Structure 1
Amino acid sequence: MEALDGDRLFTDADTELERDFWLKKPRWTLEQAIAISFGRDPRYVNWTTVEPYASSSNHAYEYYKRRLIVLDTHAEGYLPDPIPSAEFIRWTLRINLHCDVGEYELYGHAPPSWPPSVPMQSTPTARPDALQTDPKLTDLLRQTQAECARLEARVQQLEQELELAEEQRVMKAPERSALTMLVYAMARGLYGYDPSRLKGDATSKILRALDRFDLSLDEKTIRKYLRQAHNEVQKLKPRENQD
């Protein structure tokens, strides 16, 4: 393939992503993933071919910025290399980074449209080129974007940890039902609990039993959970035939 300039690397049909090949791969290297996120073939669009145009082409400059975000996030330990293809796509969605490949495409659906609704300019705009005139601004942009990506990844990690903790905290329904039946049977069989009586000596017996093992509950709490156990057990009992 003939050598292409910075803009044509991102617009020429020869560099378009070969979806039938790349979207079937379970993992991509991060360098491959960056090119794929632009809908370009990593064999033709990569840092080696893009770098010479990073200060003269908006397409190449966008590639440069995205590459900094990806590599900085990898350095923080939040993006593995290589990375599962679906995981990379989900990451771009979480940080609101346009990706030409939708996650659903990995399962054979039609590709989303590209370019995005506000396309990149094919020629340099009048903005000062941060790569040439203000390296401090470029570095600040890189640090800010990397920090946003790092924080987003940390939020996701905390959400996953919270979800796991909640799953461990909340007892599954069958386990809860079994424990309820066990406690209810012991309360009735060992301590004489009678749900038809508003007050009885079962509560005081349970209090004394708790005290023997250095455990503490008040009478109100005991009565509350005994009533709840009774109500739940009634729901668990098989219904009589109505024939």
Structure 2
Amino acid sequence: MTEQEQKDAIIERVFGETLDWEKPTRINSPSPFYDDAFVTHASNIKFVLGAANTALSALSSPELSQVYAYLFRGGFDFQVSSKADAARCEVFDLRKELSQPPEWYAGGFGVAGHEADFEYWAKMEGWGLTQATCLSIGVEPEDFSESPYAERMDPRALKFFERRQELVRLKFFRKQFSLQVLEPVAPLDFCRWAIEKKIEIPDEMISEVLALLNAKTDSPEPTSHSLPEKSLEGRERDSLLKLIIILAVDGYGYDPKAVKSPIPNQIRSAMQLNGLDMDPATIRKWLREAAAILPEAAKDE
């Protein structure tokens, strides 16, 4: 066995799982993500492993072999030189300097491997407070346990979670009297509320809830489409266009000059959540037509 192989074996024996630690992978999520704790831990690992390698590299070949033999063969009865023993102690002391790796949620909830299973949760009749809060930021509720989170999470991420949870609680889980039994919130009602209040929730969450809603509908087209169309002309048409563009600009942040806009799809999602539907191309056509009546100054704002 070469000296390098001996050093590698010693490092692996002493530091074990530390060598396998990897920084969590960030995924797209409404939850903010702060990687300070992970960057610090990665730097500590790099420093400690470097120091351990330096300590072992300072040994002669026989001394390195003594440390190797002590760890893999001799145990506490195996005799080593004072220099070899000092290096061994230094390596073990370095291991003690490494704190426990930060939890996956230390920087926030948008972490690969802990994504919410929206297909499963959308089938539920209702969600509790913690479930609804977790799902709204894209994290799997079953991976969540409130008690240890506060102490191990970045304060900024914790503040985001607590504020989101408070919004959900005040809307759906606030008791009007002490003995009131709070009912779970239906997925459709929750998504409708979030969109109405412009609370960012995962697109997949909306898609799965809508997919189940559409599956329950016997008719492929909403009943509103069976109503006879009424032609609009003159002032009545202008009034409608004014309403459309003002609601789109002020309500959805629609930019009339944008080449591509996500707003038509967002409007369609809101319609579907309320039992209606319209092709995004049709929505886009009406928005363009309505935008034409805006004063130029308003378009540039």
TM-score (norm 2): 0.31
